[in-house]
Structure 1
Amino acid sequence: MAGPAVPLELPAIADEPLALAWPDDSARVLGPLPTPAELAERFPRGERLRAQVTGHRRAVREIVDGADDRLLVIVGPCSVHDPDAALQYAHELAAAAAAHDRDLLVVLRAYLEKPRTSVGWKGLLHDPHLAGREDLAEGLAIGREFLVRAANSGLPLAYEFVDPFLAPYVLDLVSWGALGARTVASQPHRQLASALPMPIGMKNGVTGDVEVAIAAVRAARAPHTFPALAAGGVPSAVVGAGNSACHVVLRGGARPNYDAASVGAALDELRAAGVGAGVVVDASHGNSGKDHWRQPGVVEDVAAQVAAGNRGLLGVMIESFLEEGNQDVAARPLRHGVSVTDGCLDWPTTARCLDVLAEAARRRRIASVRPRTRPVGL
């Protein structure tokens, strides 16, 4: 885990007109942020990436819907803190993704916000230089540029939507989204998910409660009207039509929930709730006891369930980076390719995990088409 929070240095207070909404001493209003449209013009997606993202979203949705028998594998650093190292990782991952394309749909974790139970580094968008200095304006620009460059690797991108206000700055580049264990019960986040144009994984709560994730799926599949920031920066009423591709992510809690019995129980609950019968398993967090070296064991267990024919297992999440482990965000110099948040697997170990999952997907496919033996006497 990251070290203690570094006190933030705040820029000067904004001009009086911007501060009118906060007329007392309860808060300080900083300078204005660029609009989503301004950043999109500065770091454009372009027609090629637009078509690519649309195709990736369709591919993920087909796995969630059961039309594609590949496994979805969301893999990458816990939270991006060094764009150059993350792009180096993306280069390695893209080659592996191409090699396993028949069996796996590999998605790069491109998380730029870090949810916190209490305090700590909140991610690249908030503190892009890891200097303990809140700088959302620069963080949004650096983050947007990273996402465009990462998408140019050819990989689909995954993103956890932590602050609904910031979603318009990034969502056009995202192919799979998540609501985390700390936000899955939040009404504003569920409303946001109802309007997002990509499949959304709802993680179970920090205690391991799966019912809250199922409730989130049900809520986000319904239509909602809610306030949000339009691309031009105008606060607007947004109508979410409902997102039918929302699904549950099992991330453990007080105890792991990746084993066959826990997966089966979650699938039964989903069927009873009438919201589909597929789950993604997070190999990290509560399922690994926050020990990154336990992730391969989780992957092997899930792979065995897949190979045995479990079609309710849609995919796996893995926290991985160039080098294993993690480091204190305040350390200097920082080691290249090492997470400053959750501990990650190194790349060679990750590549072996992908091999295991691809083999499991192949075995499941073979089992599903193998003709049944005709009973004797019939």
Structure 2
Amino acid sequence: MTTSRTEDLNVIRIEHMPSPDEIKAIVPLSDAAAATVEAGRTALQNILDRKDHRLMVVVGPCSIHDPIAGLDYAKRLKVLADVLSDTLLIVMRVYFEKPRTSTGWKGFINDPHMDDSFCIAEGMAKARQFLLDVNELGLPAATEALDPIAPQYYGDLIAWTAIGARTSESQTHREMASGLSTPVGFKNATDGTLDAAINGIISAAAPHSFLGINNSGESAIIRTRGNGYGHTVLRGGGGRPNYDTVSVSLAEKALSKAKLPSNIMIDCSHANSWKNADYQPLVMKDVTHQIREGNTSIIGVMIESFIEAGNQAIPEDLSQLRYGCSVTDACVDWLTTDSMLRDTHALLREPLKERMKSA
């Protein structure tokens, strides 16, 4: 008997997807990009190990939908990153996959033309090209790991990875994180609790064996050594922010109880800004104040930022899209971003050096 009567009953068709090797042959890693990735990862690890006094800043669009506007933003950010590099380690947020609460645009890889044509192979190649372009500027990149197969296609171009609030509790994503070559930030759950993130850090630090694909696109058993650079990201949830002094203190105690390093990153967006991008500068000011007042556990921040402020719905006529404006969560604009980072640099330049001396 065949199994055709009992399998793939809801599958319309199965199409060929180029292997990671095939995509990498189209968009090969350059020496310049590899140097940026390596330097970014080393710097991030040194911050987590308290060998580098700087604050890591993951900043950029909520999602990439227009590579031209995205690269325009990256060039601006690179100039600013160089100016502020003695105090801030700036990493560009480059998100291609968007988890949806129900339905909606799933991101550039899944649907690069934003018209439900789902040209995933094309999206993957263009996403890799974008990452290559950003790294060749000398700007390291960060992303959220959502699809467990995707890192095989572009993981060599990523310096920092987030595991999102919806997936921190997922065994699949914890296993994947254990094999990633980057530091990994686990976000607290959408209800605001920390258990999923803390357990995710512990799980990802351990060796795992799981199903995946190799660079040839073949099914494979992936065996990992574990990732020792997991840390928690506070993004608020359950109807309230958690960037305040009390919430940070509670997170410190929870990490200590779990015998984990007290490395905390604050996401200035999402529930911490009540989903209002205009509040992100206020969150950043509060976090900066905590560090100036002696906090030693906050090692980084995240900011959703693009060229233009706010966000926009995806129109049927894509020519009507506003240039440099998010199609997912709202962002602060470039002028606000520039001001936020310059102000933070000025306020933390000396306190971060002093914090390093007392570490």
TM-score of the two chains, using structure 2 as the length reference: 0.95
* CA pair 154-210 structure 1, distance change in 2 beyond 3 A: same
Task: Choose the corresponding residue for 1:191, options 175, 195, 205.
Answer: 175
Give the aligned CA root-mean-square deviation in angstroms. Answer: 1.7
Q: Distance in 1 between matches of 2:177 and 2:36?
A: 21
Offset of residue 331 of structure 1: 5.4
* 2:201 counterpart of 1:217: yes
Supply the distance in 2 between the matched residues of 1:143 and 1:177 (Cα, whole angstroms): 16
Amino acid at match of 2:225: A
The partner residue of 1:78 within 62, 82, 99 is 62
| Counterpart position of 1:10 | none
Q: Tell me which residue corresponds to 1:326.
A: 311
**Residue 109 of structure 1, CA deviation:** 0.5
Question: Which stretches in structure 1 are left out of the alignment for 5+ residues?
Answer: 1-18, 372-378
After superposition, the Cα gap between the structure-2 partners of 1:37 and 1:364, relative to the gap in structure 1 and judged at 3 Å, is same
Task: Tell me the residue number matched to 1:226.
Answer: 210
Give SS of 1:165's match. Answer: coil
Where do residues 33-44 of structure 1 align in structure 2 (5 Å cutoff)?
33-44=17-28
User: How far does residue 306 in structure 1 lie from its aligned partner after superposition?
Assistant: 1.2
Query: In 2, Cα distance between the equivalents of 1:370 and 1:221?
Result: 28
Matched residue SS, 2:117: coil
CA distance in 2 between counterparts of 1:127 and 1:233 reads 21
Alignment CA distance shift 1:368-1:138 (3 Å) = closer
Distance verdict in 2 for CA 1:235–1:262, change over 3 Å: same
Distance 1:315 1:21 in 2: 53
**Aligned partner letter, 1:294:** Y
Cα contact 1:323–1:347 (8 A) shared by 2 = yes
Q: Contact 1:309–1:367 at 8 Å: present in 2 too?
A: no
- Residue equivalent to 2:234: 250
Counterpart of 1:47 in structure 2 is: 31
- The residue correspondences of 1:188-337 to structure 2 (distance < 5 A) are 188-254=172-238, 255-330=240-315, 332=317, 333-337=320-324
Aligned to 1:359: 346
Instruction: Choose which of 341, 345, 351 in structure 1 pairs with 2:328.
Output: 341
* Cα distance, 1:285 vs structure 2: 0.2
Structure 1 stretch displaced more, 341-350 or 324-333 = 324-333
Whole-angstrom distance in 2 between the partners of 1:20 and 1:140: 31
Letter in 2 for 1:315: G
Deviations 1:305-359 (A, max 9, x none): 1112212001100000000000002353100000000000000000111012212
- 2:49 corresponds to which residue? 65
Contact persistence 2:277–2:330 (CA under 8 A) = yes
Letter in 2 for 1:73: V
Checking the alignment, whether the CA contact within 8 Å between 2:87 and 2:352 is kept in structure 1 is no
Q: Distance in 2 between matches of 1:227 and 1:200?
A: 20
Q: From the superposition, tell whether residues 47 and 110 of structure 1 become closer, same or farther in structure 2 (CA, over 3 Å).
A: same
Specify whether residues 270 and 322 from structure 1 end up closer, same or farther in structure 2 by C-alpha distance, changes over 3 A only.
same
- Per mean C-alpha deviation after superposition, the further-off stretch among 93-102 and 25-34 is 25-34
Letter in 1 for 2:38: T
Give the whole-Å Cα distance in 1 for the aligned partners of 2:344 and 2:154: 29
Deviation of 1:362 after TM superposition, in Å, equals 1.4
For 1:222-278, what per-residue CA distance to the aligned partner results, in whole angstroms no more than 9, with x for missing partners? 110111111111111111111110000000002100011111110111011011101
Matches within 5 A, 1:73-112: 73-112=57-96
For the pair 1:177 / 2:161, whether they are aligned, the reply is yes
Distance in 1 separating the partners of 2:202 and 2:322: 43
**Using the alignment, how far apart are the partners of 2:301 and 2:5 within structure 1?**
44
- Measured in 1, the distance between the counterparts of 2:148 and 2:38 equals 22
2:156 alignment partner, SS class: helix
Cα displacement (A) at 1:23: 4.1
2:77 aligned counterpart, secondary structure: helix
Contact 1:310 1:364 (C-alpha < 8 Å) held by counterparts: no
Match of 2:148 in 1: 164
Question: One-letter code of the match for 2:329?
Answer: D
Give 1 or 2 for the bigger CA radius of gyration. Answer: 1
Using a 3 Å threshold, how does the CA distance of structure 1 residues 20 and 348 change in structure 2: closer, same or farther?
farther
Matched length: 353
Which stretch of structure 1 is more off in the superposition, 285-294 or 230-239?
Answer: 230-239
1:367 CA drift (Å)? 3.9
1:307 touches 1:363 (CA, 8 Å); kept in 2? no
Q: Distance in 2 between matches of 1:319 and 1:195?
A: 27
2: CA distance between counterparts of 1:284 and 1:242? Answer: 29
Q: Normalising by structure 1, what TM-score?
A: 0.90
Distance 1:88 1:53 in 2: 20
SS in 2 for 1:342: coil
Q: Report the CA distance shift for 1:347/1:277 in structure 2 as closer, same or farther (over 3 A).
A: same
- Measure how far apart 1:22 and its partner are: 8.2
1:67 counterpart letter in structure 2 = K
Distance 2:302 2:351 in 1: 19
Q: 1:147 aligns with which of 128, 131, 140?
A: 131
